[in-house]
Chain A
Amino acid sequence: MILLDVQHFTKQFYVHHLGRAIPSFYDLSFTLDEGQFLLVTGANGVGKSTLLRCLYRTYLPSSGSAIYHSQHGPIDLAHAADVDVMLLRREELGFVTQFLRPRPRVSALDLVAEPLLISGTPLDDARAAAEELLSDFGVRPELWAAYPSTFSGGEQQRVNLARALIAPRRLLLLDEPTASLDAAARASLTRRLAELKTLGVTMIGVFHYPQEIQALVDGEIVLQGEAILDVAN
């Protein structure tokens, strides 16, 4: 069953003070079945992260469509109302970024538990799930009550992964989630992604070390500036 149907998807950034558009990816088309893992590859600056952000609507796509078959019905992510995108982000779409934006005076545990609280999970259950995930990712218990703004880069990244992966999602967008992790944390992430895959979660990812998740990959798109090579399956 098709979960995502992307057609002629294009993004360019119009920079007003330069008076010109800076192109990113162009005329990209692909489909993704439910439960599949799609790897996005290509040289630096070719628009891999931009593609993920356009699907999450952090960036506004310039043209084309991305029909996502949500549990509420099909919707074009390129043109969906903001409040519909908010609904999908609460329930179905997850984004795993490289960098955590820690909030002052919010503990690691509460930061991780927050997505569950927003979707209505009781506080105790949300905290229990957060503890489990934090320990999975190797964050030491003595740090759970501390504020991540004081953590090292690698520790912040683990907290961020736990936060991004705690709530059940149908489509996960993974933007170099392993960038600043050590080998042990990368291994626990790979295990977690494999687990999610067996649960039927669909994923699109950009990876710094693609060989580590190669076993999970069902297809690959190679972005090449203006021309896109599609080598799915």
Chain B
Amino acid sequence: MAISKPLSALSNGRLETARLLHETPLLRAMALTKRYGRIAAVEDVSLEVYAGEVLGIVGESGSGKSTVLRLLNLEELPDAGEYQLDLPDYTDENLFELDRFARREVAALHIGMVYQNPHLGLRMRYTSSGNVAERLLMTGEREYAVLRQVARESLSASEFPLDRMDDPPRVLSGGMQQRVQLAKAIALRPRILLLDEPTTGLDVSVQAAVLDTLKRLQRDLRLAMILVSHDLGVIRTLADRVMVMRGGRVIEMGLTDQVLDDPQHAYTQQLVHAKL
């Protein structure tokens, strides 16, 4: 299923399409619409993310940003829209049209997700290492030594203290739980990491440490990230580009410093100036 729609929906009408960067976007979503009953949670949202790039999504509660992440994580299907990842077996394929087994496989192998609420991403009573190894079990890996080794490497990459790798998440602090989620998300070395308010609710110092880990991982693994946050400080620290959402729609998109320092839309100006 080839994607044929032009990308004009992505530019804000004034900017050109890419001319110097000769790369295919890793992720391309076109005209996503998702309704719950009569409410359109997401309406006509299009975005592109390149390898190694961080796209931030900001907007108030109910703006549709978390719904966009769930669609991109193939947890839900949209009412309309196309979704393409530049992966060897799936080039030009609209992922929403795959059967559910294939969708699950794409999500497991190529997309990592970190939720604000660790209960959504982790089994709180399993060991932390077991939570991470579970990702490999999904791919059919059964060898204990391999599972153990990958869990160790992933936990270490997300700067989790290895002497606690067999503690269950329920006895860990919030910051530690997010590191276990992160280790689980990167266990299969995905190309894309989706983060839904990953540091919200953490102490400021813990938040800084987790952000630092994310930044290092993103650079070392050349991960593409989509980061949903209402915290403009977090967005400024991590995101290369920002998409501003309101009422399910994208109202502004641009370089992070441009959107935060020279916001164009009335709503974005209000959002930026509301920051303490």
Which residues from chain A sit less than 8 Å from chain B, CB to CB? Answer: 13-17, 53, 57-60, 70, 72-73, 75-76, 79-88, 101, 103-106, 117-118
Which residues from chain B sit less than 8 Å from chain A, CB to CB? Answer: 11, 14-21, 50, 53, 204-205, 208-209, 211-212, 219, 236-237, 240-241, 253-255, 257-258, 261-262, 264-266, 269-270
What separation, in Å, do the CA atoms of A176 and B258 have in the docked complex? 20
A105 in contact with B20 (CB, 8 Å): no
B237 in contact with A17 (CB, 8 Å): no
Task: Tell whether A58 pairs with B261 under 8 Å between CB atoms, given A81-B11, A81-B18.
Answer: yes
A86 in contact with B262 (CB, 8 Å): no
B275 to chain A, nearest CB (A): 14
B254 in contact with A16 (CB, 8 Å): no
B16 in contact with A86 (CB, 8 Å): no
**Hey, which chain B residues are within 8 Å of A58, CB to CB?**
255, 257-258, 261-262
What separation, in Å, do the CA atoms of A117 and B52 have in the docked complex? 13
Beyond the given A16-B270, A58-B261, A86-B241, could you list 15 further A-B residue pairs with CB under 8 A, ordered by the A residue number? Answer: A17-B270, A57-B255, A58-B258, A60-B14, A60-B254, A76-B16, A79-B15, A81-B17, A82-B15, A83-B18, A83-B53, A101-B236, A104-B209, A104-B211, A117-B219
A122 to chain B, nearest CB (A): 12
Can you offer 9 A-B residue contacts whose CB atoms are under 8 A?
A17-B269, A53-B261, A58-B257, A59-B262, A73-B20, A82-B241, A83-B21, A87-B21, A105-B208
A80 in contact with B262 (CB, 8 Å): no
What separation, in Å, do the CA atoms of A79 and B262 have in the docked complex? 15
Task: Tell whether A103 pairs with B258 under 8 Å between CB atoms, given A79-B15, A79-B16, A81-B19.
Answer: no
